[in-house]
Amino acid sequence: MTETIRSRRGRTLVVIGDPALLTMDRMGEFTSRIDTDPRIASLSLVPGPAGSGQWLRAAAPAGPLIAIATDVEDLVGSFDAEDPESVRDWLAGASERGLWHDWWVTGSTDIARAESILEVADVDRAEADDPSSSHHAALRHYRPRAGRLTITVDATWLGPYETGAQVLTTSALEALAKQDAVTEIRLVGLAELPSYAVHLADLPKITLVGPEGDPPISDVVWYPNQIDGRSNIASARRLGARIVTTYLDLIAYDIPRYHGSAQAWHAYRALQRRIALSVDGITTISADVATRLMEEVPKLEPERVLALPLGLDHIGREQVPSEPGEDLVGLVKALGGKRFVAVLGNDFQHKNRDFAIKVWQRALQAGQPCDLVLAGLHVKGSSSKKDEDDLVARHLDLRGRIHTLGHVSSQSRAWLLANAAVVLYPTSAEGFGFVPYEAAAMGTPTVFTDFGPLKEISALQGLPRSWSIEQHADDLVALLTDQSVRDRRVAGLHEAIARYTWAAFADRLVAFFAEITRLPEVATSAVGADSAAADAAALSAILSSRSWKATAPLRRLSRRGRP
């Protein structure tokens, strides 16, 4: 159905759609607007957030009612108002001439319920999620609701293996689901949950949204692990009104070897800084990480950063398995009942497993026979495996053998922690560090260095003050030989476990989420974290290409020739 209206300056509009939607006040808006600029080719009624209406320039018309200016037909050509294909072609032609399409965005119920005659163009839909766009300001109006919080959680880090990052996600989700203020938690990024996390789907407030799902906008999108090139801020803006990410550490930020090249490392560092400035809120898993992040990104607003230590009560003595998993059958046979020292963790170089071997060997020399068990995944290109293999090859058995395992099951990991005489954890770069507390929960003491987050959270006295083989070996021997020293170490860590619970973590996290929803979107979210992610991805592709490697000599010659 079509109708014709005229403006005060004599411009004629052909109205397509239900003319009943063009009430007197809207007609006044339309006739006034069309007279403001001769470049306006169409006006549309478009549903938007609740509140007063506003004009918005769009890439194409949309909505249940469209008014087309006929005085530009000499420029664009004529159209048949009764033929939808003719109308679409004409509107596209107007755009190609550089003419404008304006929307009257209104939260009125009749517009929201009316059937659209033209759907929103892809570019207009995408820009609604871009904080730099006028569409975002007009279409993503948001008001938090007191006592009601919906959360979308990026679950892509819940991979096949359960390590500290996965413990954070699963334990935090269980605690969040018990919060009265949280009404729904939607998990995105996975088609199905891994075995150690399947129980999350049974919690009433948690829903797994598959890859093809289109969940409604939540109050908060939370990334439990810091965002990298695989994630996209614009995509997150489509999922939630505010974005919060958790920085676990700055290990990859600091260590160049964990990247394929110097250029890839530089790109990663730039990405992490830009991400920090593009999200609405940041939590860190220790004050140590928060301090370091603020040093690296001094333009961060302090009220948007919260140091929130993790919970420690996710494992208890009652969870100790009576038997290890099948993956430890060979180890148990090889140990033959001998006492052993355990090192748990992937062989990243900063985990210092080669250093642990030297410490253990010094304990053997001090007359403390025991075996050493190294358990954890092998990582390519950034591991200590070569140094470990060299030490193993040269080791002389002073009544102690080395057993190297890969990843072990959760059951076997718990068995190792409970049955080791002592756990060695000589890491030199950490954001938090679960291992000493998990071991203590099972009655086993741990040797670790008094630094950073481990010092902050444990608050223990008498730990090795530096990465000295002698200091660590002395501590290991004391724990192997003196029950009172063992008891004090375990008791001190139990005090830390009592101080840091997942329930308290969830309380503070929900309060922070609520606080962030009351703040406006961070202004720097418009500067382009997505472009940084795209740059990093493109750089990675370039640096891994044969042509880049083949032209390396030419680039070196070019650099030599520069003044």
User: Tokens 């063009």 identify what position?
Assistant: 22
Whether residue 533 is predicted with pLDDT greater than 70 in this model: the reply is no
Q: Is 507 a member of any domain?
A: no
Q: Which of 111, 139, 167 is the last residue of a domain?
A: 139
Q: Are strands 446-447 and 281-284 parallel, antiparallel or unpaired?
A: unpaired
Whether residue 131 is predicted with pLDDT greater than 80 in this model: the reply is no
Q: Is 560 a member of any domain?
A: no
Question: Mind listing the pLDDT tens digit for each residue in 149-191?
Answer: 999 999 888 888 777 788 889 999 999 999 999 999 999 988 9
Question: Mind listing the pLDDT tens digit for each residue in 483-512?
Answer: 999 999 999 999 999 999 999 999 999 999
Question: Mind listing the pLDDT tens digit for each residue in 470-485?
Answer: 999 999 999 999 999 9
**How many structural domains does the chain have?**
3
Q: Which of 461, 484, 499 is the last residue of a domain?
A: 499
Number of Cβ within 10 Å of residue 14's Cβ equals 17
- How far apart CA 222 and CA 231 sit, in angstroms, is 12
Whether residue 547 is predicted with pLDDT greater than 60 in this model: the reply is no
**Tell me, what CATH number does 379's domain have?**
3.40.50.2000
User: What pLDDT, on a 0 to 100 scale, did the predictor assign at position 558?
Assistant: 41
Whether residue 356 is found in the same domain as residue 470: yes
Q: Is 555 a member of any domain?
A: no
User: Tokens 């999108």 identify what position?
Assistant: 221
| Environment class of 117 (CB within 10 Å of its CB; exposed 0-12, middle 13-18, buried 19+) | middle
User: What pLDDT, on a 0 to 100 scale, did the predictor assign at position 509?
Assistant: 98
Whole-number average pLDDT of the chain: 89
Q: Is 513 a member of any domain?
A: no
Question: Mind listing the pLDDT tens digit for each residue in 119-129?
Answer: 999 999 888 87
Residues 6 or more apart whose CB falls under 8 angstroms from that of 536 comprise 228, 229, 264, 267, 268, 270, 271
Domain assignment of residue 475, given as a range: 321-499
Question: Mind listing the pLDDT tens digit for each residue in 72-83?
Answer: 999 999 999 999
User: What pLDDT, on a 0 to 100 scale, did the predictor assign at position 548?
Assistant: 39
Q: Is 198 a member of any domain?
A: yes
Residues 6 or more apart whose CB falls under 8 angstroms from that of 546 comprise none
- Between the alpha carbon of residue 24 and those of residues 5, 12, 75, 113, 168, the distances in Å are 12, 17, 30, 19, 57
Whether residue 164 is found in the same domain as residue 260: yes
Q: Are strands 54-58 and 100-106 parallel, antiparallel or unpaired?
A: antiparallel
Q: Is 554 a member of any domain?
A: no
Comparing C-alpha atoms, which of 446, 428, 167 is closest to residue 310?
167
Whether residue 402 is found in the same domain as residue 355: yes
pTM listed for this prediction: 0.81
Q: Is 7 a member of any domain?
A: yes
Number of Cβ within 10 Å of residue 516's Cβ equals 25
Whether residue 343 is found in the same domain as residue 377: yes
Whether residue 377 is found in the same domain as residue 421: yes
- How far apart CA 562 and CA 556 sit, in angstroms, is 10
Q: Is 38 a member of any domain?
A: yes
Question: Mind listing the pLDDT tens digit for each residue in 365-414?
Answer: 999 999 999 999 988 878 899 999 899 999 988 789 999 999 998 899 99
Yes or no: say if 356 and 391 are a contact pair by the CB < 8 Å rule.
no
Angle at alpha carbon of residue 443, lines to 439 and 445, rounded to 5°: 60
Amino acid at 287: A
Whether residue 337 is found in the same domain as residue 478: yes
What is the rounded (10 degree) CA torsion for 381, 383, 385, 388?
A: 150
Whether residue 305 is found in the same domain as residue 405: no
